[in-house]
Amino acid sequence: MAGTIAVLNGPNLNLLGVRKPEVYGRDTLADVEALCAREAERFGLTVDARQSNHEGVIIDAVHELRTSAVGFIVNAGAWTHTSVALRDALETVEGPIIEVHISNVHAREEFRHHSYLSSIASGIIVGCGVQGYAFAVARIAALTTVSV
Protein backbone atom coordinates (compact mmCIF):
# COMPACT_ATOMS: atom_id res chain seq x y z
CA MET A 1 0.00 0.00 0.00
CA ALA A 2 1.50 3.34 -1.05
CA GLY A 3 1.48 6.22 1.36
CA THR A 4 3.36 9.14 2.78
CA ILE A 5 4.99 9.33 6.18
CA ALA A 6 5.17 12.81 7.74
CA VAL A 7 8.60 13.48 9.28
CA LEU A 8 8.44 16.51 11.54
CA ASN A 9 11.48 18.07 13.17
CA GLY A 10 11.24 20.91 15.64
CA PRO A 11 13.39 23.80 16.79
CA ASN A 12 17.15 23.91 16.24
CA LEU A 13 17.23 20.55 14.45
CA ASN A 14 18.22 22.50 11.32
CA LEU A 15 21.61 22.75 13.09
CA LEU A 16 22.17 19.00 13.04
CA GLY A 17 25.70 18.18 11.93
CA VAL A 18 26.70 21.82 12.26
CA ARG A 19 27.05 22.12 16.06
CA LYS A 20 27.19 19.73 19.06
CA PRO A 21 28.29 16.60 17.14
CA GLU A 22 29.19 15.00 20.50
CA VAL A 23 25.46 14.99 21.38
CA TYR A 24 23.68 14.76 18.03
CA GLY A 25 26.27 13.25 15.67
CA ARG A 26 27.64 14.48 12.37
CA ASP A 27 24.67 13.89 10.06
CA THR A 28 22.86 16.97 8.84
CA LEU A 29 19.09 17.42 8.69
CA ALA A 30 19.31 16.84 4.93
CA ASP A 31 21.09 13.52 5.65
CA VAL A 32 18.31 12.55 8.09
CA GLU A 33 15.58 13.40 5.61
CA ALA A 34 17.39 11.43 2.87
CA LEU A 35 17.77 8.47 5.27
CA CYS A 36 14.02 8.52 5.93
CA ALA A 37 13.25 8.70 2.20
CA ARG A 38 15.59 5.77 1.43
CA GLU A 39 14.17 3.64 4.23
CA ALA A 40 10.58 4.50 3.23
CA GLU A 41 11.29 3.49 -0.37
CA ARG A 42 12.15 -0.03 0.83
CA PHE A 43 8.52 -0.30 1.96
CA GLY A 44 6.98 1.43 -1.07
CA LEU A 45 6.36 4.56 0.98
CA THR A 46 7.36 8.21 0.55
CA VAL A 47 8.11 10.93 3.09
CA ASP A 48 6.99 14.52 3.50
CA ALA A 49 9.69 16.04 5.73
CA ARG A 50 9.22 19.39 7.45
CA GLN A 51 11.35 21.32 9.96
CA SER A 52 10.57 24.61 11.61
CA ASN A 53 11.74 26.76 14.48
CA HIS A 54 8.18 28.13 14.77
CA GLU A 55 5.69 26.06 16.71
CA GLY A 56 2.65 27.25 14.74
CA VAL A 57 4.27 26.23 11.46
CA ILE A 58 4.67 22.65 12.69
CA ILE A 59 1.13 22.64 14.12
CA ASP A 60 -0.14 23.84 10.72
CA ALA A 61 1.82 20.99 9.09
CA VAL A 62 0.14 18.50 11.45
CA HIS A 63 -3.27 19.90 10.43
CA GLU A 64 -2.35 19.75 6.74
CA LEU A 65 -1.15 16.15 6.93
CA ARG A 66 -3.35 14.74 9.71
CA THR A 67 -5.61 12.68 7.45
CA SER A 68 -3.33 12.09 4.46
CA ALA A 69 -0.16 10.81 6.15
CA VAL A 70 -0.08 7.09 6.95
CA GLY A 71 1.96 7.89 10.07
CA PHE A 72 4.02 10.58 11.75
CA ILE A 73 7.64 10.58 12.89
CA VAL A 74 8.06 13.44 15.33
CA ASN A 75 11.19 14.85 16.87
CA ALA A 76 9.69 17.91 18.49
CA GLY A 77 13.01 18.97 20.03
CA ALA A 78 12.47 21.16 23.10
CA TRP A 79 8.69 21.41 22.40
CA THR A 80 8.57 17.78 23.53
CA HIS A 81 9.00 19.03 27.07
CA THR A 82 6.83 22.16 26.86
CA SER A 83 4.05 22.03 24.29
CA VAL A 84 0.48 21.11 25.12
CA ALA A 85 -0.50 22.80 21.83
CA LEU A 86 1.59 20.39 19.75
CA ARG A 87 0.23 17.44 21.74
CA ASP A 88 -3.36 18.64 21.11
CA ALA A 89 -2.63 18.87 17.37
CA LEU A 90 -1.00 15.44 17.23
CA GLU A 91 -3.93 13.90 19.09
CA THR A 92 -6.03 14.59 15.98
CA VAL A 93 -3.91 12.61 13.52
CA GLU A 94 -5.22 9.37 12.10
CA GLY A 95 -2.07 7.28 11.73
CA PRO A 96 0.46 6.10 14.31
CA ILE A 97 2.94 8.54 15.80
CA ILE A 98 6.52 7.51 16.56
CA GLU A 99 8.35 9.95 18.83
CA VAL A 100 12.08 10.07 18.10
CA HIS A 101 14.94 11.62 20.05
CA ILE A 102 18.47 11.39 18.75
CA SER A 103 20.01 11.62 22.21
CA ASN A 104 19.09 9.57 25.26
CA VAL A 105 16.93 12.18 26.94
CA HIS A 106 16.75 10.03 30.10
CA ALA A 107 20.51 10.29 30.58
CA ARG A 108 20.36 14.09 30.31
CA GLU A 109 18.89 16.91 32.41
CA GLU A 110 15.77 16.17 34.47
CA PHE A 111 13.65 18.61 32.42
CA ARG A 112 14.17 16.38 29.35
CA HIS A 113 12.73 13.32 31.09
CA HIS A 114 9.10 14.37 30.69
CA SER A 115 7.44 14.37 27.28
CA TYR A 116 3.98 15.77 26.52
CA LEU A 117 3.94 13.52 23.44
CA SER A 118 4.90 10.07 24.71
CA SER A 119 1.46 9.11 26.01
CA ILE A 120 -0.16 9.74 22.62
CA ALA A 121 2.64 8.06 20.62
CA SER A 122 2.47 4.47 19.40
CA GLY A 123 6.19 4.14 20.03
CA ILE A 124 9.18 6.04 21.33
CA ILE A 125 12.77 5.73 20.10
CA VAL A 126 15.45 7.53 22.11
CA GLY A 127 19.23 7.49 22.16
CA CYS A 128 19.74 5.59 18.91
CA GLY A 129 21.23 8.55 17.08
CA VAL A 130 19.76 9.41 13.70
CA GLN A 131 19.30 5.68 13.07
CA GLY A 132 16.21 6.08 15.26
CA TYR A 133 14.47 7.76 12.32
CA ALA A 134 15.08 4.68 10.14
CA PHE A 135 13.70 2.45 12.91
CA ALA A 136 10.66 4.71 13.08
CA VAL A 137 10.04 4.41 9.33
CA ALA A 138 10.23 0.61 9.58
CA ARG A 139 7.83 0.66 12.52
CA ILE A 140 5.27 2.80 10.70
CA ALA A 141 5.56 0.49 7.69
CA ALA A 142 4.95 -2.52 9.96
CA LEU A 143 1.92 -0.86 11.52
CA THR A 144 0.34 0.39 8.30
CA THR A 145 1.39 -1.81 5.39
CA VAL A 146 -1.02 -4.55 4.46
CA SER A 147 0.82 -7.76 3.56
CA VAL A 148 -0.87 -10.12 1.09
> Any idea which residues carry the catalytic annotation?
24, 101
Residues in contact with ligand CA2 by CB under 6 A are 12-13, 15-16, 19-20, 24, 75, 77-78, 80, 101-103, 105, 112
> Shortest Cβ distance from residue 77 to ligand CA2 (Å)?
4
**DSSP code per residue over 3-36:** EEEEEEE-TTGGGTTTS-HHHH-S--HHHHHHHH
Q: Who contacts 127 (Cβ-Cβ below 8 Å, separation ≥6)?
A: 101, 102, 103, 104, 105, 106, 107
> Shortest Cβ distance from residue 4 to ligand CA2 (Å)?
22
> Shortest Cβ distance from residue 62 to ligand CA2 (Å)?
17
20 or 63: whose CB is closer to ligand CA2? 20
